[in-house]
Each structure stands twice: as structure tokens, then as C-alpha cells.
Structure 1
Amino acid sequence: MGDSSRLCSVWLGSETGILKGVSLARKQAFNFCNTSHLSRDQEVRALCWGDPDESELLVGSVDGTVKTFSTEKGAFTESRACGQPADGCFAGLAPLGGSGLVTCAESGALRVWREDSSEPVAELNAGKHVSRMRQSPVHRHRVATGGKDNGLKLWDLQNPQSPVFTAKNLRDDWLDLRRPQWVRDVAFIPGSEQVVTCTGYHQVHVFDPASPQRRPVLEFEYGEYPLTALALPASGGVVVVGNTQGHVAVLDLRKGVVRGCLKGLAGGVRALQCHASRPVVASCGLDRFLRLHSLEDRTLLHKVYLKSRLNCLLLSSRDLQEGGGPAGEGEVKEEGEGEEEDDEVWESMERVEEKTKRKTTTEEEEQEEEELQKKRKKKKD
């Protein structure tokens, strides 16, 4: 297991509770699990690296536990309770310096944990119905939160009494009605203090905390369906967004126009991530495929079928295999039990024999006409 985990350059969390690693060089996927029986309570909802060397993965489950997975050993080494099922699923997970950890649940419970404590050293309320919590890649003590009817907030975990920035809702529409807000994903724009969000109302907003304006400094829309995920390339200037219909587009952050669309997806997008050094973006979601697209010519580089519906993904900072030729589906190597429930469901279903084809209306009319003619003939005789 340790050898296979070292080969993996992409990590994914599935609804079945299995941590999946994909080796793009070998076109193989490996399943890692620490139990013989899996349940929906262990569904993976959040992934992040536990250290800068990327030797440890932090895996957040639905039941509020955070497991530590060693990529060197290829096994789970630790598990700790960082919340209750009543708090809802994890909306975000991030490491802090000194073996610390930040967790945020859908209920709005934002907690800071230390390695040597079973209780959080700090806890604050980020508001109800939180959809996403993201950590700043530059200032690790700064995080952003947002959700349904819960606008963007920026928090300084060194001074967590109140948010350092609270976004103001959009202006009322032309009927003077309040416009609803629903932050689905958020990211910090590299090289600036600006923050970009995508919403459940197919909007993209850019906020500037350094500006006196608390409303978006840039606002535009994409498509007609709710946006669910976004990612920022290292080159800057654009944002990649995905929606519930499997549409992924590259949008210009300066002009608010569509630069291009990434094709091939067939289900709702749940996670997007751009590589740290290469112009590629990874996506996964309900269609059970991991895909890697080039951001230069928008071609599909890799496509790997992973059997389970996927919630989140994490790219390794190591260089990915160069894409050449058409993308093919990867072979899946089973490493855990209870991977798929679909086959068992189909086998347990009762077989229904096909019934005799019902006569059409035209056939019935013709038969009635023949019987009528026979009756008339008998009367004449």
C-alpha cells in the first residue's frame, strides 16, 4: 500500500467513505480504507495536506472525525473527533502552524484545534448554513466563510472575536426586493487582497477588503444554473467555475467575460483545483470521473473512472504526467471492501418478465370493424 500511495498525484474523497489515490503516470486508481465495512457516516467531505512536505493527508468525514493518512506508509495513522454529526458536514478543513487544525461545519462552528488537546482552543460562530470555508494560501491564520443567506466573511484566527471583513448584500433589484445570497465557494486571488466567490444564483463576485466598498467590486453571471465550485490558476487573471449541470468555464476576472469552456463532463461539479505550477485544472463530481483539462488549449488530458460519486479532490504539487494523445479511462485497482453498492442493489431486485405487447388503438378499431361486418352478414342471411 505504501508503494502505491507514493505514486499517487491526485487524491479524492468519495461518498462511500473511501479515500482514492490516482497515479496518472500508470493510469491507475487505488482505494485506501481503514475498515472492512464502510457506511455513509464515513463519507469523505474535505481533504487537505497536513504538512508542507505532503507526507500526510487530513481527511474529514461526515461523522465529524478527522483522520490522518500517511502517504509514506499508505495507511491511516490517527483519528480524532473534531465535531458532532449534529453540526453538519465539514464545510472546510485546513492545517495551522505547529500541528494545529482549523475545521468549519455547516452549522457555522469554526474551531481551532491543537494536537495535544481534545477540546478546541478557540471557537467562533460563522453563521448558519455555511457552504465553504477556505484558508488564505499566504496568511495561514486568515480564513473566509460563506453560505446560504450568509454572506462572505473574513476571519483572523489570531483575533477571532469578530470578522475583519463582512460583505454587504447586493443592492435591491428594480422592484426594490431584497436579492438573495448564497456563497457556494470562495478563493483568495494570488498577489492581492481580493477574494472571489461563486454563488448558487450563477453569479461570480470579486470583493476587495482594502476598499471602503463592502459590496462586490466586480459582479457578473455565468449560465443559468447554480455554481458549485471554483478554482484559481497560479497565472492569475481568470477563474474556473463549475455548476450543477456539469458545465465548466474559464472566466476573465478583469472583464467578466467567458474565455472558454471545458467539455466532457456529464454530472454536477463538486470540486475543482488548479495545479500549483502547471496550466491544468482537475475536476470531479457526480459522474464519478476524475478529469484533467489543459487551461491553454482546453483539451482533455486525463480521464479516470472511479466508480463512486466524488466530493472533493486534492492535487499533489509534484509535476503531473504530460498529456499526449486522447485521454483514456484509468483502470481501478480495488484495495477496500464495500466499494460499490450498485451491483448488490441490482442483484437483489426481483426480475420482471416483459409483458405481452398491448394492441394499439388502430388494431382494436380494425378488429371491431371486422366483427361488425360479420354481424351484418349474418343478419342479411
Structure 2
Amino acid sequence: MDISKYNFYVGTSRGTLLFNSDKPNNIQSAKSEEISEVTSLNFGRNENELLIGYDNGCVNIFDIIERKYIKTPELQGEGRVVGIGYVNKSIVIGKHDGIINVWNGKRNNYFDTHLDEKGTLDTLVCNENRHGVIGTGGEFNDLKLWDIETQQCIFKAKSLGHDMLNLPIPTSVRGITFFPEDNYLSVCATKEGHVLLYDDRAQRRPVVKFLEKKASYTTIACAYRERQCLAGTTRGYMQVMDMKAGKCLRTFTNFTGSITSIVCDPLEPYVITTCLDRHLRIHNLETKELLHKVYMKQNLTKVLVKSIVKDEPVEDTSEKEKVDEEYEEIFENMETVVSSKKLKKQKRHDEDVTDKPRRKKKKKLKQAEG
């Protein structure tokens, strides 16, 4: 894997933004005025803009080219920023108390998700494949889908029912992701060890369920293969799951802390993770080989990855045409070169042609004398 083809942006527990340079192991940093943990990180209105949410409830916009922070206005809601994204030319920001802010650069519209008494909002994710739809979830707060334009809930998941003791099965949502191949499929991972696949066209209960009793999931991301996802745990291992059958395909175990963020390359089998052991790792998703590992000196909370696309130089066709015309003129003005064999044959032929009348004349003279 060529690490120089990617740019990495990593949020830390101290509020610092870390990113790589041209050299893979040369890590640079951009300190913010907010000395608070980075709890949300996403791209903004373009690829040169980062949206950063903090544990103290503030939000900054970071300009990648100029490397400076732009602070957003005060937002509604209390608690940390649990999710941030960009929808319909507006920045969507979720707060821990259930308030969702929609800031368009001039005005801030917000609405309440009306949580239960014990409920919290712990994650908010924008569905990039489904225009204007976001997913939310948290403690005593099952998966919900919202339409940003109407500010209405368009899907609300049902609880998992009751266990053998007739007690309600808790579902504390810690991560949400959406499969790109189907706009209506949503997957969430819970603190209790569930990975649940929902299809909001079919039913309110999950269509596929997976349970790892010993696991407590912290984050989830979709993989590059159809209906596969990756989930990180507090125990320092990551699982690859096939949500067609609801089973675990393989497990990555070379972590020494809770996994905080996962990003998978959409085209190639590479997965990038951050962990509380202060390392950024890159694995091969198929072979489980550790391809790259960087120590970053701080606890890492969020990661974003952008592939570098180098533009190929465009040829100037007018100059090329001029050169072609010059070459054609040169070839037209050149003399025809004949090989030595052809020259000898031509010379003999010319001699035969010139000597032929003389031979005839001599022959006639001899006949007259005779």
C-alpha cells in the first residue's frame, strides 16, 4: 500500500487536529482554542473544509489549505457534539440532550428529537446516499431516521422485545452507518453487543441481528464489499461482519485499547483505525496484515481519510499540430535516397539504352562490308 496516496486527519482528546504531510511518518498538528476532546469530525461543504465538534459543545470549521479555524455561532442544546455533517448546504449538528441544529451560515434552525426521560443522543450520522436524511440513536434511544427539511421522524425502530426473564432488552446505540448499495438499509452497533440491520421499507424491527455477548461496540463503518461492515469494541478488537447472514467473518486483535474510529477505503481492501493506545493503524481487510502503524503521542478519537488524486498534465494539441506540420514539410523537401544496388541496376540500364543504337549501326556496317 502506498501511504502517500492518502491524507489523514485525526482528532484527539486534547482538541488538537493531527494530519500527515508528504512524508508518511511526519505528523503535523493544528491547535485549537477549544481545549476539549474532539467528539465529531467530518468533511464540510467541500473537501478542503473540516467540521469539528467538541466535548464542550462547540463547533469549529478548519480550512485545510490555509490551516486556520473558523468558529461557528452559538448553538442550541446542552452537552457534547455527538455528530456533525453537511446536508442541503447546511451544517447539521447534534447535541447530547437531543437538540439538532441546522446552520446554513447565516441562520440557525433547530428542533428537538423529544427523548425519553432517561434517553440521550449519542450518535448522529448523515445518509450521503439519501438526500436530506440523518440517523440518530443513543441510550434508551433506538435508531431513528429524520428528514431535515420537514424536521419529522420518518422511521423509528422498535425495541428488541424481552429476554427469558421477561425483561426488556436494552439497545444503547453507539454507532450508525449506511450501506451505499441500498439507500434504505441502516446498520447500528450497540453497547450491549448487538449489530442490527434495518430496512425501513420492510419493518420496524431489524431484518438481520448479530449478537456478541462479550463485546461492547464503540463504532461502526461499512466495508467495501456489499453488506459488510466493521465494528470496533472497548476490548481492543475489531470484527468484520457479513450482514447478509448475520455472522462474523474475521477478527482483528492487535489493538491494546478501545477502538474509537474506523474508516474503510470504498474501493480497496484497506481499513484505517484509531485507538486509545495512540496509534493509527492500516490493515488489509482480507489478509488481516498490518500495513502501517503510526504513533501520534495523544489519545485518538476520530479519523477522516481523503485519497489524493493527481491531475495528469494536459497536452497542448496546437503545439503538437505545429510540430507535425514542420515534420511533414521536412519530409516533403527531402531528396529520395536510393540504395547502391538500385543505382547500379539503373546505371546498367541507362548504358544499355544508350549503347543499343551504336551496336545496331556497327552491325549494319559489318553487313555492308561483307
- Structure 2 counterparts to residues 17-36 of structure 1, below 5 A: 17-23=15-21, 25-35=23-33
Matched, 1:268 2:262: no
| Corresponding residue for residue 241 of structure 2 | 251
Q: Distance in 2 between matches of 1:95 and 1:82?
A: 18
Matched, 1:81 2:73: yes
For 2:40, which of 38, 42, 46 is the aligned residue?
A: 46
> Which amino acid in structure 2 is aligned with residue 276 of structure 1?
P
Measured on the aligned residues, the alpha-carbon RMSD in Å equals 2.1
For 2:177, which of 176, 182, 187 is the aligned residue?
A: 187
Q: Distance in 2 between matches of 1:178 and 1:258?
A: 25
Matched, 1:95 2:93: no
For 2:192, which of 190, 201, 206 is the aligned residue?
A: 201
Change (3 A) 1:47 1:60: same
- Asked which structure has the greater RCO (Cα within 8 Å, sep 6+), the reply is 1
For 1:67, which of 33, 53, 60 is the aligned residue?
A: 60
1:280-322: CA deviations, max 9, x gaps? 11111211111111112111111111111111111113379xx
Deviation at 1:237, TM superposition (A): 2.5
Q: Distance in 2 between matches of 1:319 and 1:240?
A: 26
Q: Secondary structure at the match of 2:97?
A: coil
1:174-220: CA deviations, max 9, x gaps? 22221111111011112211101111111110011001x21111111
Matched, 1:167 2:157: yes
| Corresponding residue for residue 57 of structure 1 | 50
For 1:278, which of 261, 265, 268 is the aligned residue?
A: 268
Q: Secondary structure at the match of 1:316?
A: strand
> Would you say the 8 A contact 1:82–1:103 is kept in 2?
no
Unmatched segments (≥5 aa) in structure 2 = 311-370
Deviation at 1:238, TM superposition (A): 1.2
Q: Distance in 2 between matches of 1:29 and 1:111?
A: 33
Matched, 1:157 2:155: no
Change (3 A) 1:28 1:7: farther
Unmatched segments (≥5 aa) in structure 1 = 1-5, 321-381
> Would you say the 8 A contact 1:64–1:82 is kept in 2?
no
Q: Distance in 2 between matches of 1:257 and 1:275?
A: 22
Q: Distance in 1 between matches of 2:166 and 2:309?
A: 51
Matched, 1:147 2:135: no
Q: Distance in 2 between matches of 1:272 and 1:82?
A: 29
Q: Distance in 2 between matches of 1:154 and 1:97?
A: 16
Change (3 A) 1:13 1:96: same
Change (3 A) 1:8 1:240: closer
| Corresponding residue for residue 100 of structure 2 | 110
1:112-155: CA deviations, max 9, x gaps? 111012xx223232523111101001124100000011000000
> Would you say the 8 A contact 2:261–2:303 is kept in 1?
yes
Structure 1 segments, 4+ long, off by >6 Å, are none
> Would you say the 8 A contact 1:147–1:184 is kept in 2?
yes
Q: Distance in 2 between matches of 1:243 and 1:25?
A: 31
Change (3 A) 1:319 1:300: farther
Matched, 1:176 2:166: yes
Q: Secondary structure at the match of 2:307?
A: coil
Q: Distance in 2 between matches of 1:23 and 1:266?
A: 26
| Corresponding residue for residue 220 of structure 1 | 210
Deviation at 1:44, TM superposition (A): 1.4
Aligned length: 303
Change (3 A) 1:177 1:63: closer
| TM-score under structure 1 length normalisation | 0.75
For 2:128, which of 112, 121, 137 is the aligned residue?
A: 137
> Which amino acid in structure 2 is aligned with residue 44 of structure 1?
V
Identity over aligned pairs, percent: 28
> Would you say the 8 A contact 1:8–1:24 is kept in 2?
no
